[in-house]
């Protein structure tokens, strides 16, 4: 892609001019954006970059291992893997069910962990993030209307003064589809570039109500089955984003000759071009039936599955 190769060269020159001989740390979330940002910055400044992957215990099944394998093993980019599950879950336990409290807590902990890692590395001058254009506008205003915060995006703004790190955000002018083109241009594996978006606060915002490790484990299993069925049906690349949401509601069911009283799982799938607006995906009923049966049979703790048919607006893509 001609225009993307020009953008790549231009952005690399800009990063070099901004950073000079400074040290940069880049947070990897497991998503496409931070991965593309990291590879681009590595191309610009080489080993002045260290990546930090904070495993907050809110990742999907096998996701943490995949990120570490890609960066440390395939790309040879210095990567610090921080095991922070206990810290995140213990602080989240204090938030109760309030979605904004959860988002803010996660944002604060990310910053604390980064601060600590930067200190251990002997200080960093810059913090790199894979912030996209829609993140910038959605966290400021909505649909061009008055300034209203819909959700606190953990990776935008709010960098405390005491961090004394400047931001490097090479994707700030791009939309998701452009980031994917740039990722391909940079040679990232197709399986990674084509991944559905995954939010920084992870499964915490797909688990309405109080967060516990037990609920997260149930959600992880169900989500993996759902995505497996989507891939088998050849729908992964047709859908912008698909995920399961574990509801804080229990309902009565029957399994064999037993009464059950377990969680409801909501399935979500949307098509979109930029995440700003979205339509629910019109699955055929056979797909939904098959997937629900598998989830209920294979995941202990779920006895009912529902499908979310809300578009954006009026819904948001995530439930929190
Ligand atoms: P909503 O739910 O606002 O989401 O319609 C739009 C897109 O943004 C993702 N999202 C986030 N990504 N940090 C992120 O990096 C966040 O805090 C965050 N919140 C939502 C969401 O998954 C969807 O792709």
Residue 200 lies in a domain: no
Please tell me the distance between residue 262's alpha carbon and the centre of ligand 1 in angstroms. 28
Q: Which of 219, 242, 235, 222 is nearest to 297 (CA)?
A: 222
Q: What are the tokens at 301?
A: 């703790």
Query: CB under 6 Å to ligand 1: residues?
Result: 151, 153-155, 197, 199-201, 241, 275, 312, 316-318
Per-residue pLDDT of the chain (320 residues; tens, 9 = 90+): 678 999 999 999 999 999 999 999 999 888 899 999 999 999 999 999 999 999 999 999 999 898 888 888 778 899 999 999 999 999 999 999 999 999 999 999 998 998 899 899 999 999 999 999 888 876 654 443 444 556 766 654 455 556 678 999 999 999 999 999 999 999 999 988 999 999 889 999 999 999 999 999 999 999 999 999 999 999 999 999 999 999 999 999 999 899 999 999 999 999 999 899 999 999 999 999 999 999 999 999 999 999 999 999 999 999 99
Rounded-to-integer distance, Cα 39 and Cα 16, Å: 14
| Same domain as 29, residue 87 | yes
Check the annotation: does 29 bind a ligand: yes
- Structural domain total, the chain: 2
The bridge status of strand 241-255 relative to strand 258-271 is antiparallel
Please check if 9 is assigned to a binding site. no
Residues 170 and 231 in one domain: no
CA of 20 to the centre of ligand 1 (A): 32
Same domain, 165 and 228: no
Domain range holding 265?
Answer: 212-307
**Which residue in 163, 238, 154, 159 sits closest to 198, CA to CA?**
154
Mutate to test the pocket of ligand 1, among 130, 171, 176, 275 (most ligand atoms within 8 A of CB): 275
**152 and 38 within one domain:** yes
**Cα 318 to ligand 1 centroid, rounded to whole Å:** 7
Apex 151 CA angle, 97 and 313, nearest 5: 105
51 in the same domain as 10: yes
Residues 79 and 142 in one domain: yes
- Is there a single domain that holds both residue 135 and residue 270? no
- Report the DSSP beta bridge partners of residue 260: 253
Residue in 139, 67, 136 with CA at minimum distance from that of residue 104: 139
Are residue 103 and residue 17 in the same domain, yes or no? yes
Task: Give the number of the atom of ligand 1 that is nearest the alpha carbon of residue 176.
Answer: 24
Q: Are residues 254 and 176 part of one domain? A: no
Whether residue 294 lies inside any domain: the answer is yes
Instruction: Quote the CA–CA distance of 29 and 66 in Å, as a whole number.
Output: 11
Measure 172 CA to ligand 1 centroid, in angstroms: 15
CATH number for the domain harbouring residue 90: 3.40.50.620
Token output for 59: 């990742």
User: Do 91 and 171 share a structural domain?
Assistant: yes
- Token look-up 């890609």 returns 70
Rounded distance between C-alpha atoms, residue 311 and residue 319, angstroms: 12
* 157 labelled binding-site residue: no
Whose CA is closest to 206, among 196, 110, 252?
196
Same domain, 99 and 224: no
C-alpha dist (Å) from residue 248 to 9, 139, 149, 151:
48, 27, 25, 20
Check whether residue 257 and residue 291 sit in a common domain: yes
Q: Hey, how many other C-beta atoms are within 10 angstroms of the C-beta on 105?
A: 21
Q: Compute, in angstroms, the gap from residue 197 CA to the centroid of ligand 1.
A: 8
Is residue 31 marked as binding? yes
Q: Does residue 25 belong to any structural domain of this protein?
A: yes
Give the tokens for residue 119: 């200190």
User: Could you give the ipTM of this predicted complex?
Assistant: 0.98
37 is in an annotated binding site: no
């Amino acid at each position: 892609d001609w225009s993307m190769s020009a953008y790549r060269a231009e952005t690399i020159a800009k990063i070099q001019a901004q950073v000079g001989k400074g040290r940069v740390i880049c947070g990897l979330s497991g998503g496409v954006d931070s991965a593309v940002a990291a590879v681009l910055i590595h191309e610009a400044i080489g080993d002045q970059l260290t990546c930090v992957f904070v495993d907050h215990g809110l990742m999907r099944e096998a996701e943490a291992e995949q990120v570490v394998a890609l960066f440390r093993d395939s790309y040879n980019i210095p990567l610090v893997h921080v095991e922070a599950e206990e810290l995140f879950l213990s602080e989240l336990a204090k938030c109760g069910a309030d979605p904004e409290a959860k988002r803010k807590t996660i944002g604060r902990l990310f910053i604390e962990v980064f601060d600590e890692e930067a200190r251990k590395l002997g200080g960093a001058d810059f913090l790199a993030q894979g912030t996209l254009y829609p993140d910038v506008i959605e966290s400021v205003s909505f649909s061009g209307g008055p300034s209203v915060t819909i959700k606190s995006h953990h990776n935008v703004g709010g960098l405390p003064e005491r961090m004394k790190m400047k931001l490097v955000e090479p994707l700030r002018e791009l939309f998701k589809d452009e980031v994917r083109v740039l990722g391909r241009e940079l040679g990232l594996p197709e399986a990674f570039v084509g991944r559905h978006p995954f939010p920084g606060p992870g499964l915490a915002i797909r688990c309405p109500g109080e967060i516990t490790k037990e609920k997260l484990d149930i959600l992880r299993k169900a989500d993996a089955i759902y995505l497996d069925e989507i891939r088998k049906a050849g729908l992964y690349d047709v859908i912008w984003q698909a995920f399961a949401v574990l509801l804080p509601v229990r309902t009565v069911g029957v399994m064999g000759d037993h009464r059950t009283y377990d969680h409801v799982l909501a399935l979500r799938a949307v098509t979109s071009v930029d995440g700003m607006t979205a339509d629910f995906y019109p699955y055929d009923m056979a797909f939904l039936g098959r997937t629900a049966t598998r989830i209920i049979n294979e995941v202990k703790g779920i006895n009912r599955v529902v499908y979310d048919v809300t578009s954006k607006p009026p819904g948001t893509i995530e439930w929190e």
